[in-house]
Structure 1
């Protein structure tokens, strides 16, 4: 596991990447003997699909939910599963709701609850995250950095393997370099453009340091996650989908703008994380869940047209003026980010090492093609988020 030297990290982050002394190593359990696991983020996007995968493996899943009591927590969990059209497909008898908060000591649990939980679980899947591309690092520190310390403490108390969800955003976004592999250097944090990326980089460093102390961990770095490749269930506030929705609202598409993304379906990410977590050889590894190709603006326009939408191509300036003139447009709150597009470089990623571990898992590396994109559009139409292409008048 790699990390930059302290000399490469500015003083702002030096204290934050110091791992607390109470986090110490222990022998990892055999993943195949684990029957009860702990999941954070089950009321989020990736967490919902991780829950589906874990239940499919016959595991009892203890889900940390921020709620006043277990009944309210279960209701929150069910509402999230319903949003992503998963509720009717899952048997929740093996789900145990644990109320708490990742940012608080002992994850907000009473001491007796914490001790009992630690005595039952053998694996932790940490997917909880505060995703906000407009927020600065210090406002994300508690939800990401402090929470990671608390998750590591639970892993040590339970003697459980920790599978930590990071992001490919921990790499400095520099173009014209070979694709970044799993063991290539990340950061430094001061070179990362988003507070979110900085907070995830710091949290990843804590997990890597715990691994070097002997805590059994894995780190997973998904690309930008879109919806389930079969049902189309997707999160509506994803940046690119907000861009797509805003363009449809305006009836315009910006010509020659820069928005290349490595986009990967959430069902592949969740399946890969769980498959890797069941492999004892994967403990201590860093893994990438990424797509084989970058999804650029020309391909997005082509996919929109294949789905039945017709948009007039205009200059990016004319597109921005149309967005800025409509406060109800999906992209209106993000216009500051749009103004920075031309300054943003985009890295490419390699998953060669990860694919070697997944050879026997039967998980093909996905691509966003017309069939998958149509499933996404159909989901958003069903939920009233995108207009039905059949009702949209062309330019």
Structure 2
């Protein structure tokens, strides 16, 4: 195996940033000739919208799903697509369910089926991830590092271009460093606050080494993925939405809280990723799917009040006491993380190169304004996540 250990990388990561020797390069296929692709994470939020976008391009999509059999896997997909209100917009006749597990050798797929799959697909979209901000890095090795190796092995077996979904969280969170561009150095991992972002940083190192060996690929770093600007569909376990819901439940909002996030609509992220992947000029490049600005706690309060929720601003301590007093509050399980969050700076991000690349494609990033935010709240009201602010 080849070591990727960088100066300053501690023993915690030294072995994990070593890419297996059986991952070797191959010639890239012309994206315009690819008709069948492989997708991981289709039962997740971003994955569901990637599936929708890929199907809209007329592609046949093989989806890896953990399930007892293909029929059960298809039902899982239908449930996810229905939850995010896109089921009626997709052609399930072009979906092929592959039952397996991204962490297992050969993805848990029988050898014959694996070979048949490798013979059909021309590109892989790897969006599967265990997104848990409370989990330690060591508990994410299997779902992130092992999974990345297995996805790269499939790419080599199929000679399929890999489109790897990372995160802007791989950057050191120091505002003084200025806006991070697509080509800036990430890490070091010791400076990253979460086990999740550390694991994504390691996965990026493995993918980049595969690229140096000649595996054709692209890397994508979305910001905090928010809802669909058309339907309002959101994921309820998103950190900021849990923060908003917790404040609504408590009836109070923390004054001058250090929350500043780069929120980006899921419909932009998915359409940008797919548009980039269909362009041969993208190979070997990194892309940022982010918004031009961030939303701080003051801006979020204005949006929350704008849809009709009456929240009283109180001190951070009083807000935390109100949340902690209710074990059913949406933010109750995350209170320890919230204390730690106050200690960290927030980085800025540049996507100038990505926007230039997408120029002329028709793919642009919508603003998250009052109208879009209201559609998000309406979605949560429809699904019983938030109370009707007008009630």
TM-score range, shorter chain: over 0.9
- The alpha-carbon deviation at position 5 of structure 1 amounts to 6.0
Aligned to 2:257: 257
1:116 and 2:116 are equivalent in the alignment: yes
RMSD value over aligned CA atoms? 1.1
Q: Distance in 2 between matches of 1:107 and 1:361?
A: 34
Which residue does the alignment assign to 2:193?
Answer: 193
Aligned equivalent of 1:381: 381
Q: Is residue 2:184 matched to residue 1:184?
A: yes
**Contact 1:165 1:219 survives alignment (8 Å):** yes
Cα deviation digits, residues 326-353 of structure 1 (max 9, x gap):
1110000001011113201110000011
User: Per-residue CA shift, 1:341-371, capped at 9, x if unaligned?
Assistant: 3201110000011111100211222321101
Q: Secondary structure at the match of 2:42?
A: coil
Deviation string 1:299-348 (CA, Å, 9 cap, x unpaired) is 00000111111100000000000011111100000010111132011100
Distance 2:62 2:38 in 1: 5
Aligned twin of 2:365: 365
Offset of residue 91 of structure 1: 1.4
Give, in whole Å, the separation in 2 of the partners of 1:167 and 1:232.
22
Residue 323 of structure 1 corresponds to which residue in structure 2? 323
Query: Which residue number corresponds to residue 56 of structure 1?
Result: 56
* Partners of 2:5 and 2:14 within 8 A in 1: no
| SS state at 1:360 partner | coil
TM-score (norm 1): 0.97
Alignment of 1:89-238 (within 5 A): 89-238=89-238
Contact 1:175 1:346 survives alignment (8 Å): yes
Structure 2 matches for 1:233-382, cutoff 5 A? 233-382=233-382
Q: Using the alignment, how far apart are the partners of 1:385 and 1:43 within structure 2?
A: 19
Contact 1:218–1:283 (CA under 8 A) maintained in structure 2? yes
Residues 43-97 of structure 1: per-residue CA shift (max 9 Å, x gap): 0000000000000000000000000100000000100101100111211000000
Structure 2 segments unaligned to the other structure (5+ residues): none
Distance 1:195 1:46 in 2: 20
- Contact 2:5/2:18, CA 8 A, preserved across alignment: no
Given that residues 292 and 366 in structure 1 are in contact (C-alpha distance below 8 angstroms), is that contact kept between their aligned partners in structure 2? Answer: no
Classify the secondary structure of the residue corresponding to 1:343.
Answer: coil
Q: Contact conserved, 1:293 with 1:367, CA < 8 A, in 2?
A: no
- Is the 8 Å Cα contact of residues 5 and 17 (structure 2) preserved in structure 1? no
TM-score normalised by L of structure 2: 0.98
Report the Cα distance in structure 1 between the residues aligned to 2:377 and 2:97, rounded to whole angstroms.
32
- Counterparts of 1:306 and 1:42 in 2: how far apart (Å)? 33
What stretches of structure 1 move > 6 A for 4+ residues in a row?
none
Q: Which runs of 5+ in 1 are unaligned?
A: none
Count, aligned residues: 389
* Secondary structure at the counterpart of residue 218 of structure 1: strand
Q: Secondary structure at the match of 1:23?
A: coil
